[in-house]
């Protein structure tokens, strides 16, 4: 994307907002502010500063009062920033900062569209790799910390109460079994090949108890049990990857083996034969 392309996109969005409400003031001035700060701060103004404004805006909606937003100046005696004041003043009182009565949700939507337009803007491969490494390092660090986690008597008491309340209710009626999710699996299976992989697993290993499926009545419906079979070992491992959260961070997710993903998706039934 060329250097001025983000500004062209933002300008087009502001034109759309103006067409929605021709009475809005200072949108031309707001565009000049965007152009000036983009020139001096670079893409981070669009990908970091504006989403930070959006977080404060959302927090103000929740608290019914807009607080000061660092990095955005206010006029003397005003509680809302000068930037986007023409439209933000349709949501919050410019003098008190309190949420107005009967706010038009279209104005809220327009503010959020402007502020979040470039939140997930693509980064260079170098920056993406750095954020990927940071996210995975944090994941393993948290995992290591949990190994030595201990509970005092009070926390142990509440944890026990939660387990006694929740776990017995996890059992499902027989008609609630499993299905494949839309996401990727570690083995790379797609569409019907996921079903074939499940049936191959059942035929080879002989039971589904290793998945806890015996709790849900599913293993009783499969006439492939081997009386003296050893508990099967699930083949394949989950893959840890990271996906974009925003322009400054990524979050970790795992791509599960097909058998485990199948067990995590309630709401379907096993087919009578492989498709």
pLDDT, tens digit (0-9, with 9 covering 90-100), for 19-51: 989 999 899 999 999 999 999 888 889 988 999
pTM: 0.55
Same-domain pairing of 128 and 229: yes
Tens-place pLDDT, residues 170-202: 655 555 566 777 778 888 888 778 878 877 776
Asked if residue 155 is part of any domain, the answer here is no
How far apart (Å, rounded) are the C-alpha atoms in residues 159 and 107? Answer: 44
* Domain span at 28: 5-116
Element (H, E) at 235: none
How far apart (Å, rounded) are the C-alpha atoms in residues 183 and 20? Answer: 38
Does pLDDT of 219 surpass 70?
no
Does pLDDT of 123 surpass 80?
no
Tell me phi and psi for residue 149, to 5 degrees.
Answer: -70, 130
- Nearest residue to 231 (alpha-carbon basis) of 213, 258, 205: 205
Same-domain pairing of 128 and 235: yes
Record the tokens describing residue 21, joined without a space.
């409400």
What pLDDT score was predicted for residue 149? 78
What pLDDT score was predicted for residue 204? 66
How far apart (Å, rounded) are the C-alpha atoms in residues 266 and 208? Answer: 15
User: Exposed (0-12), middle (13-18) or buried (19+): which is 222, by Cβ within 10 Å?
Assistant: middle
- Cβ atoms of 232 and 259 within 8 Å: the answer is no
Same-domain pairing of 13 and 83: yes
For 70, other C-beta atoms within 10 Å of its C-beta total 9
- Cβ atoms of 178 and 247 within 8 Å: the answer is no
Same-domain pairing of 97 and 63: yes
Query: Domain count of the chain?
Result: 2
What pLDDT score was predicted for residue 229? 45
For 214, other C-beta atoms within 10 Å of its C-beta total 13
Asked if residue 150 is part of any domain, the answer here is no
Give me the residue label for tokens 């019914």: 64
pLDDT band at 208 (very low <50, low <70, confident <90, very high): low
Last residue of a domain, one of 116, 133, 159: 116
Tell me phi and psi for residue 57, to 5 degrees.
Answer: -65, -45
Same-domain pairing of 53 and 79: yes
How far apart (Å, rounded) are the C-alpha atoms in residues 268 and 92? Answer: 48
Cα→Cα distances 36→39, 209, 255, Å: 5, 63, 43
Same-domain pairing of 133 and 76: no
Q: Which long-range contacts (CB under 8 A, 24 or more apart) does 230-233 make?
A: 231/207, 232/201, 232/204, 232/205, 232/206, 232/207
Does pLDDT of 164 surpass 90?
no
pLDDT band at 247 (very low <50, low <70, confident <90, very high): low
Q: What mean pLDDT is reported for the chain?
A: 79
- Cβ atoms of 60 and 99 within 8 Å: the answer is yes
What pLDDT score was predicted for residue 9? 93
What pLDDT score was predicted for residue 113? 96
How far apart (Å, rounded) are the C-alpha atoms in residues 38 and 72? Answer: 14
């Amino acid at each position: 994307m060329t250097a001025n392309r983000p500004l062209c996109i933002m300008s087009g969005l502001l034109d759309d907002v103006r067409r929605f409400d021709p009475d809005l003031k200072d949108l031309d001035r707001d565009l000049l502010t965007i152009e000036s700060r983009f020139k001096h701060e670079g893409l981070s103004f669009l990908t970091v500063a504006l989403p930070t404004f959006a977080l404060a805006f959302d927090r103000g909606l929740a608290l019914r009062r807009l607080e000061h937003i660092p990095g955005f100046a206010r006029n003397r005696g005003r509680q809302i920033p000068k930037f986007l004041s023409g439209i933000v003043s349709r949501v919050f009182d410019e003098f008190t900062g309190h949420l107005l009565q009967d706010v038009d949700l279209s104005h809220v939507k327009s503010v959020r569209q402007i502020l979040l337009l470039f939140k997930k803007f693509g980064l260079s491969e170098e920056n993406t790799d750095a954020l990927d490494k940071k996210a995975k390092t944090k994941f393993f660090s948290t995992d290591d910390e949990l190994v030595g986690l201990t509970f005092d008597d009070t926390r142990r008491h509440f944890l026990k109460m939660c387990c006694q309340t929740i776990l017995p209710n996890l059992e499902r009626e027989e008609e609630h079994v499993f299905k494949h999710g839309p996401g990727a699996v570690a083995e790379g299976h797609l569409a019907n090949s996921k079903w074939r992989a499940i049936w191959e697993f059942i035929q080879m290993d002989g039971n589904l108890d290793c998945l806890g499926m015996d709790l849900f009545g599913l293993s009783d419906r499969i006439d492939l049990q081997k009386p003296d079979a050893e508990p099967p070992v699930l083949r394949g491992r989950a893959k840890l990857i990271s996906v974009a959260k925003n322009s400054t961070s990524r979050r970790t997710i795992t791509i599960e083996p097909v058998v485990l993903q199948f067990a995590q998706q309630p709401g379907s039934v096993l087919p009578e034969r492989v498709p």
